[in-house]
Amino acid sequence: MKGGIRYHPEVDLDEVNALAQLMTWKTAVADIPYGGAKGGIGCIPKELSLSELERLTRVFTQKIHDLIGINTDVPAPDMGTNAQTMAWILDEYSKFHGHSPAVVTGKPVDLGGSLGREAATGRGVVYAAEALLNEQGKQIKDLTFAIQGFGNVGSWVAKLIHEIGGKVVAVSDITGAIKNQNGLDIPALLSHKEATGNLIDFGGGDVMNTDELLTHDCDVLIPCALGGVLNRENADHVNAKFIVEAANHPTDPDADEILSKKGVLILPDIYANAGGVTVSYFEWVQNIQGFMWDEEKVNRELKKYMTKAFGNLKSMCQSHSCNLRMGAFTLGVNRVARATQLRGWEA
């Protein structure tokens, strides 16, 4: 099984169960050989010192070391955790089971992490968007993009779209939002954010209200932050023709219905953000083989997986005449059902 471990004040059992189920469908859609898992600790990581986080992680690992394992359950980083957290889990697990680099993914490269893992979710989102737009006869370089969230995923998405020649006209994060109809200078914005920690006093764009980002005038909207941001209050005002769900569950069911009626095409999260778990799979494969790939190969394989999954998703939509979200879930559930049946588990 595969899934992230999150450190967040609102972690609870229901959320962890729901996210684990979502991972089951996501790994099936991406066609990688895992079931879904999830874990978490209810805490506020930014209020803890580095040594407190380390002790917390090591004790957690001591409690779960016989539940995780190379062929049973392979954790990865999620909200509030990172490569350092994975390094502590690996070290603590190895005290019980011997050196086992494949027990977690998203590790630092020095400890057997994969090149390209850090950018993987964002890069996968861009490959997914490319697949959708190509199918519609469009290209990234001719379109405008608004990106909500400028953390790991959002900043990579912006950077890669900018490199391809797409125009990023608005971005936002918790510090604020900025826009520029002629396209923001993303490399300059990234340097500014690195230096100051916020977006708003960036010279190359105008400040806007963060709530307006989702309804900003653009061709493609990419929510990369929290779940439930598109709802019945704002869905009607969305101007984008395409929505690529880089966040988990950014569109609630009411918004889904409203947007479908408006003819907005939504690329669902369980496909769009599967780049992270796909490159985690590559990391696990490399660790088991004891043979590491170069970054070019990681990106090439990721593109292959994302493009193939889109093809499978589209043919599911055609044979069941349904939208992309329904097609993705149908694809995932069908694969799991088929495996269940072949093993003789059906009730």
* pLDDT tens sequence across 201-253: 888 889 999 889 999 999 999 999 888 899 999 999 999 999 999 998 899 99
Residue ranges of the annotated binding site are 2, 26, 121, 152, 280
- Any idea where the domains of the chain sit in the sequence? 1-112, 114-346
CA distances from residue 345 to 331, 334, 336 in whole angstroms, order as listed: 19, 14, 11
Two tokens, residue 109: 């490269």
- Compute the CA torsion angle 298, 301, 307, 309 (nearest 10 deg): -100
Residue ranges of the annotated binding site for NAD(+) are 121, 152
Strands 167-173 and 176-179: antiparallel
User: pLDDT for 21-34, tens place per residue?
Assistant: 999 999 999 999 99
Give the span between the Cα atoms of 126 and 244, in whole angstroms: 9
Q: Is 114-346 in CATH node 3.90.950.20?
A: no
Contacts of residues 285-292 at CB distance under 8 Å and 24 or more positions apart, as own/partner, are 286/112, 286/114, 287/101, 287/102, 287/112, 288/70, 288/102, 292/112, 292/114, 292/115
What positions carry a catalytic annotation?
Answer: 38
Fold agreement (1-112, 114-346)? yes
Question: Over the chain, what is the mean pLDDT?
Answer: 94
Residue ranges of the annotated binding site for substrate are 2, 26, 280
According to DSSP, the residues that pair with 267 across neighbouring strands are: 244
Query: What CATH architecture does domain 1-112 belong to?
Result: 3-Layer(aba) Sandwich (3.40)
Where the chain has pLDDT below 70, the residues are: 347
Give the span between the Cα atoms of 37 and 24, in whole angstroms: 7
Q: What is the pTM of this model?
A: 0.93
